[in-house]
Amino acid sequence: MQSREIVRRAIEFESPPRLPFCQQVFSWAPNDLWEIREMDRAEAGWFFDQAGYDDWGCLWRHTERKNMGQVVGHPLADPSAISDYRPPDAANSYYYARLEPLLDQAGDRYVTLTSHFNLIERLHMLRGFAETMMDLAAEPDRAERLLDMIVEFKLAQFDELARRFGDRVDGLFLTDDWGTQQGVFVSQDTFERFFAPRYRTLFDAIHARGWHVVLHSCGRINAVVPRLIELGVDVLNMQQPRAYGLVEFGEQCRGKVCFLATVDVQTTLPGGVEEAVREEARLLVRHWSTPDGGLIAFHYGDGEALGVKDEMARVMFDEFVHLMDYWQRQ
């Protein structure tokens, strides 16, 4: 069975023959999901390994430890700038020019294209985090105006992708970090008013093109996961299973959404204890997947930024390989 079909079955709970994998490092492990990030490269110069301005006018800087950096310059920090502000052109060929050869390399794998920084992330990148929180509370019209602008850009981007690549794409990989280590940034009421309907619009547009919705979100976001599932998320990219309460969270949500998951990138993997890594991989398979699917083993891929030794990634995938047919053995 082709990798693409194995991943699809895992996402749609149609009994894949084994656990699928999203990793491109270890030749002895499956490599089923082909993630393409080039659409996020900014014409202004920014990319994940490069500081500078992105095409929204946000200024990125790197920290001392190598990573994707963070926004330190917000083009709409002064609200008087909003009236004259224009977002990037979603039809700009620059964003799509490098995708064709990468799609050609996909082979029989399941293909995702990343479209980073969606609602809450792009909003606070434009305004600043504190200013965004104040807008949501005291200037709701301003917040909604900016969110609608972001949604308009994303919908135009989806249109352009469908026109250019159509069924060569299987899923869109969106990101919005929603939580701290303690909980979600905003109240349930705020999420419902400002974000839920706009997520519904985005997710419906993705599904209308025959693609799956893959959403990455860091933090203890337990409170909004059921709502995200209701709104149409097909796959949740979860990288901090210990933050959620690994066993409890899995028992609550497994079978309702597919997880693109890794052993915890903040605690277990950096801890560097082989048996702890193996045990967490076992717990993920046992508690986050089902006999019908629901889990894809994921490689974060930037060990230097995480403080994770390469050996720990090898240990994790060695254990996932041992667990590939876990449900067939039960």
Look up residue 301 and give its DSSP letter: -
Reference 169, options 30, 35, 322; nearest CA is 35
Phi/psi for 295 (5° steps) reads -145, 135
Q: What is the structure's pLDDT at 26?
A: 96
Residues 112 and 32: their CA atoms lie apart, in Å, by: 11
How would residue 248 be classed by pLDDT, with cut points 50, 70 and 90?
very high
Q: What's the chain's length in residues?
A: 330
Q: What is the mean pLDDT of residues 226-235?
A: 98
Q: What is the mean pLDDT of residues 57-76?
A: 89
Residues 173 and 37: their CA atoms lie apart, in Å, by: 9
Predicted confidence (pLDDT) at residue 225 exceeds the cutoff of 90 = yes
Q: What is the mean pLDDT of residues 285-302?
A: 94
Reference 87, options 58, 46, 116; nearest CA is 58
Residues 203 and 128: their CA atoms lie apart, in Å, by: 26
Which domains are present in the chain? 3-42+87-329 (3.20.20.210)
| 261 contacts 225 by C-beta, under 8 angstroms | no
Reference 199, options 145, 271, 120; nearest CA is 120
60 forms beta bridges with 52, 71
Residues 204 and 188: their CA atoms lie apart, in Å, by: 21
Q: pTM for the complete prediction? A: 0.97
Q: What is the structure's pLDDT at 104?
A: 97
Tell which wins on pLDDT, 67 or 13. Answer: 13
Residues 14 and 7: their CA atoms lie apart, in Å, by: 10
> b vs e for 18-57, b when ≥16 Cβ sit within 10 Å of the residue's Cβ?
bbbbbbeebeebbbbbbbbbebbbbeeebeeeeeebbbbb
Predicted confidence (pLDDT) at residue 308 exceeds the cutoff of 90 = no
The label of the residue with tokens 């700009």 reads 92
Q: Which tokens belong to 258? A: 């597919």
Q: What is the structure's pLDDT at 68?
A: 82
Q: What is the mean pLDDT of residues 184-210?
A: 98
Residues 172 and 316: their CA atoms lie apart, in Å, by: 26
Contacts for 199 with CB less than 8 Å, ≥ 6 apart: 119, 228, 231, 232
Contacts for 219 with CB less than 8 Å, ≥ 6 apart: 177, 178, 179, 180, 181, 183, 184, 185, 240, 243
Long-range contacts of 221-224 (CB under 8 A, 24+ apart): 221/178, 221/179, 221/184, 222/183, 222/249, 222/252, 223/183, 223/184, 223/188, 224/178, 224/184, 224/188, 224/191
Predicted confidence (pLDDT) at residue 200 exceeds the cutoff of 90 = yes
